[in-house]
Amino acid sequence: MEELRAWRGRIAAELDAAVAFWERHSHDPEHGRGVPGEPRAAGARLEPRRLRAEAGRAPGAAPAQLLQRSVLRAGAGRAGPGGGGGALPGLGPALGRGRVGLGPGGPHGIGAPPVFGDPPPAGAGPGPDGAEGGAAALGGPPEGPPKSARPRGRGHGGVGGAARPDAPAGHALEAAWLLLEFSGRRGDADLGARAVAALVEGPLKWGWDPQHGGLFYFLDADGHCPTQLEWSLKLWWPHAEAMVALLAAQRFQPRPSLVSQFLQLAQYTFDKFRDPEHGEWFGYLNRDGSVALSIKGGPYKGCFHVARALLMCEEMLDDILEGEKPPQ
């Protein structure tokens, strides 16, 4: 456990550094906008200790929710260089109440507009939603993507290469820790065990690159050649979510194999994605781990996955290490 204790310190320091990076760089002093809900808007350091103190460890409040609340408060707090009025007035309360639509057809119009012949979006139509839907979809052996839980590729059911079902490990791993939290609240140990087997152990087995390390972005769900041109890229967010998922699994059912996988994955992630010179993480790597894009923010990457994952990892490592202490 000493290795996990050392990683707890590294992760805490990296969280502080990541938040400081966005405080320095996310705000536009000329036009008064930046990343929605950026930490600097309220001049706040989102230190985990402060989050826990402010939230009072409210019952049922997940670490991700604590970070979200603080970020949303920050985003609605101050306008721009002169302060006052709110840079994004009403955004925090609106997001907190789930009133801001960011998808196609929402009031902000973000995303591609629907066109005739588009397949229905994932999860559309009748059936269970959220964690209930994820629980219902679990099943299948850990050596490959479960047939009933395969994330559908873009245009699944259409014609040509876009019709291939793809299997992004990142989404499975993200679903894993969500289901583990859900199973804990329901006291459903069987659901938690199935989440670990199908959505943590499975994706880390078939999604890991045996030659260069790291997680492939896409693989074909039937084992054929992937059709996405970016399939072999290594992206920041699946690795961040994998760190969270492995610690969530270890907290749920401690096993040496999960610790070993976490140490391997965390080392790869910090070695390859972390920018020791300028801070934060690169988002996109080539298959061999070299940097493909040097940008730190863009249409898909901002102050979200890195900070949330690091905060959740710190929280879960505290729980895991606390459980290792001998009784007083």
**Total tally of structural domains belonging to the chain:** 1
pLDDT of residue 323: 82
Domain with 290 in it: 2-76+128-158+167-324
Q: How many Cα atoms sit within 13 Å of 106 on the Cβ side?
A: 12
pLDDT of residue 255: 95
Kindly state whether residue 285 falls inside one of the protein's structural domains.
yes
Kindly state whether residue 196 falls inside one of the protein's structural domains.
yes
As to burial, measured by CB atoms within 10 angstroms (0-12 exposed, 13-18 middle, 19+ buried), residue 321 is middle
Kindly state whether residue 35 falls inside one of the protein's structural domains.
yes
**In whole angstroms, what is the distance from residue 12 CA to residue 310 CA?**
7
Kindly state whether residue 197 falls inside one of the protein's structural domains.
yes
Residue 132 amino acid letter: E
Chain-centroid distance of CA 151 in Å reads: 16
Kindly state whether residue 221 falls inside one of the protein's structural domains.
yes
Residue 114 amino acid letter: P
pLDDT of residue 252: 96
pLDDT of residue 196: 96
Kindly state whether residue 308 falls inside one of the protein's structural domains.
yes
> What residues does 285 pair with on adjacent strands?
234, 291
Rounded to two decimals, the pTM is: 0.70
- CB of 8 within 8 A of CB of 318? yes
Give the CATH number of the domain where residue 282 resides. Answer: 1.50.10.10
pLDDT of residue 119: 59
Instruction: Write b or e for each residue in 113-131: b if 16 or more Cβ atoms lie within 10 A of its Cβ, otherwise e.
Output: eeeeeeeeeeeeeeeeeeb
Phi, psi at 215, each rounded to 5°: -100, 130
Kindly state whether residue 10 falls inside one of the protein's structural domains.
yes
Blockwise average pLDDT, block size 10, the chain, 328 residues: 95 95 86 56 41 46 45 35 34 32 40 59 46 52 43 40 65 94 94 94 93 93 86 96 97 96 98 96 97 92 91 96 69
Kindly state whether residue 190 falls inside one of the protein's structural domains.
yes
pLDDT of residue 222: 82
